[in-house]
Amino acid sequence: MRLVRFDGGRIGVATQGGVVDISRLVGAPDAEWPEVSSLRFIARFDGLRPAIEQAVAQGEVLPLDAIRLDPPVGFASKVIAYPVNYHAHGKEMGATYRAKNQGFFLKPPSSISGPADPIVLPDVPGREVHHEAELGIIIGKTCRSVSRENWREAVFGYTCLMDMVVRGREERVFRKAYDTFCPIGPWIVTADEIAAPDALSMKLWVNGELRQAANTRDLVLDIPGMIETASAVMTLYPGDVIATGTPEGVGPVVDGDSVRIAIDQIGEMTLDVRQGSEGGTEVFEAPYEPPIVKQELTDR
């Protein structure tokens, strides 16, 4: 099942013909803040599934071009991201560590944006903003200390994700925390439809040029390991997002670019890149030198 948020927080199921609105099943109000209806929906999904299937069979189908897709989760409690989780990316960045011995970092929920939102570049002259294509894992229940053997119990579904970053050697979270720096979407595909999430092909293009191509089978720390590691440290909640790390081929985007990400069995989304007027800070006043093509030990 492909689950969406649309038109300011309504909840629906994407079908071949469009989207069926099922907001009434979870009492999703319009313009809710903070937006927690999607989190409540994820937590209650198993019990609601028969009613959802009936609603989809009987409900009106809204054409995709008649609605605006929002991020498929609203006010997630956290985004958990694993650095240097493909060996080839580690080599291109000159990083000697990997996710297995580095752990994770957190991106703020405010960095999440959706498939209809542009990526807004901060006003940081002398710095590059790079794309990072990743698989997004959506947590489905409150859990702690999940073992590798039981990792599937924690997963609600999967989505496309981009982890945008201002290149540099400053604090990683600082450089990845800007608004629109965590686009996810276009929907969540429920875990029952993805039999082998450890064998998904992923690609990213900029202006039609293929920049990144990899398969999740090449992850250094696999999906069971990521869930085990994160849940060992903190409680995971419905709607939490895990970003699995990016493969080689990261590179800059600039104003006017178009970035497309596609993951097998999940879908794709294309985002416009726009230069913003906010985000300048003295932290980024010094240009990054040398250029960030090969960087040592301090970045993804």
Q: Domain end: 70, 104, 121, which one?
A: 70
Residues 192 and 269 in one domain: yes
Distance, CA of 297 to CA of 38 (rounded, Å): 38
Burial class (CB in 10 A: 0-12, 13-18, 19+), 179: middle
Identity of the amino acid at 124 = V
Q: Structural domain of residue 132, as residue ranges?
A: 79-276
| Those residues with Cβ within 8 angstroms of residue 53's Cβ, 6 or more apart along the chain or in another chain | none
At 299 the pLDDT is: 43
Residues 130 and 199 in one domain: yes
Is residue 282 in some structural domain? no
Q: Domain end: 49, 70, 91, which one?
A: 70
Q: What is the tens place of the pLDDT at every residue in 281-297?
A: 999 998 886 555 544 43
User: To the nearest 10°, the Cα dihedral for 13, 19, 21, 23?
Assistant: 50
Distance, CA of 262 to CA of 252 (rounded, Å): 18
Q: What pairs with residue 158 in β-bridges?
A: 137, 189
At 294 the pLDDT is: 43
Q: What is the pTM of this model?
A: 0.93
At 291 the pLDDT is: 56
Residue 51 — φ and ψ, nearest 5°? -70, -35
> What is the token pair recorded at 275?
């230069």
Residues 130 and 251 in one domain: yes
Q: Of 238, 266, 286, give the one whose Cα is nearest residue 42.
A: 238
**Residue bearing tokens 């990072």:** 132
At 34 the pLDDT is: 87
Residues 113 and 211 in one domain: yes
Which parts of the chain sit beneath pLDDT 70? 87-99, 289-300
Q: What is the tens place of the pLDDT at every residue in 215-270?
A: 999 999 999 999 999 999 999 999 999 999 999 999 999 999 999 999 999 999 99
Residues 62 and 88 in one domain: no
